[in-house]
Structure 1
Amino acid sequence: MSATRSALPRQALVFLAFGLVQLALDTAIYVGLTAAGLPVATGNVAGRIAGACLGFWLNGRYTFAEGGKTRLQRRHLLRFILAWCALTVMSTYLLASIVTGTSLQISWFAKPLVEAVMAAIGFVVWRQWVYR
């Protein structure tokens, strides 16, 4: 078994742990800003930016580091930004659709579920492309 393959369970577990911290931060900002009257898109992007800043550093420093070597170079950041933008567009669209179809308050409860889907997609993208 290759070193990369054997790292997968550890990476998945650490990614999940860091993701829960990011999710709490992201959701708190989203709920707070939208409850204060900001548009869904603004609240979602602001929350995701806060989570992304924390997540890029944590995942590059710990989750996907190899042999004590971090993955925080410029190329990693550029790939991260591109992937993050795509996931943020999807997340924002889903939350706006939920608000349109139901209510803002329902979107507050749906936010963690939407972000769980984004995290599952993100794990594959981060592991296979961003932090390579």
Structure 2
Amino acid sequence: MDRLSQKTQLQILAFIGVGGAQLLVDAAVFHLLVQWSVPTVPANFTGRLVGACVGFVLNATMTFRSAMQGRMSWQAWRRFWMFWFAMSVISSVLVRSGQALLPADLQDSGALTAVKLGVEATLAAFSFIISRQWVFQT
């Protein structure tokens, strides 16, 4: 990380911390809903929605606060939800595809939650770039 500015390095570390908290909330909600027989796609959207609320507030107030100039703008809020919806569609397609590839005896919520965690981890790097360059810019 030598070539990245100190500000960018700190943002990456904060984004990873916030993302970890967001992912735990998202995965926990997803896991519980799947346990309660909610279909995969609605469970994924619901988990991502709850996690996104946590993530937006934490990223706006901690990770990208200098870009936000100490306040949350409606423009950033609108861009966040547009981006969230697009990423949720991609995530749901990938999680559902992963579920279809699992053998029938492994389609329990534990294996499916592991698929979801892999999908979300893969999308995280792309999410940082878009959040930094578009969502939280004023």
C-alpha spacing 1:78/1:117, structure 2 compared with 1 (3 Å):
same
Moved over 3 A (4+): none
Residue 59 of structure 1 aligns with which residue? 59
Q: Select which of 106, 122, 126 maps to 2:127.
A: 122
Q: Matched residues in 2 for 1:98 and 1:84: separation?
A: 20
Task: Kindly indicate whether residue 98 of structure 2 is the aligned counterpart of residue 98 of structure 1.
Answer: yes
1:84 partner letter: W
**Alignment TM-score, normalising by the size of structure 1:** 0.91
Aligned residues: 129
2:130 partner letter: V
For 1:74-117, what per-residue CA distance to the aligned partner results, in whole angstroms no more than 9, with x for missing partners? 00011101111111001000110111111244221121111112
Q: Matched residues in 2 for 1:75 and 1:5: separation?
A: 26
1:46 partner letter: T
**Alignment TM-score, normalising by the size of structure 2:** 0.87
Runs (5+) with no aligned partner, structure 2: none
Q: CA RMSD in A?
A: 1.7
Tell me which moved more, 107-116 or 35-44. 107-116
Tell me which moved more, 68-77 or 84-93. 68-77
Whether the 8 Å CA contact 1:64–1:70 is kept in 2: the answer is no
Runs (5+) with no aligned partner, structure 1: none
Residue 74 of structure 1 aligns with which residue? 74
Q: Aligned to 1:66, what secondary structure does the other structure show? A: helix
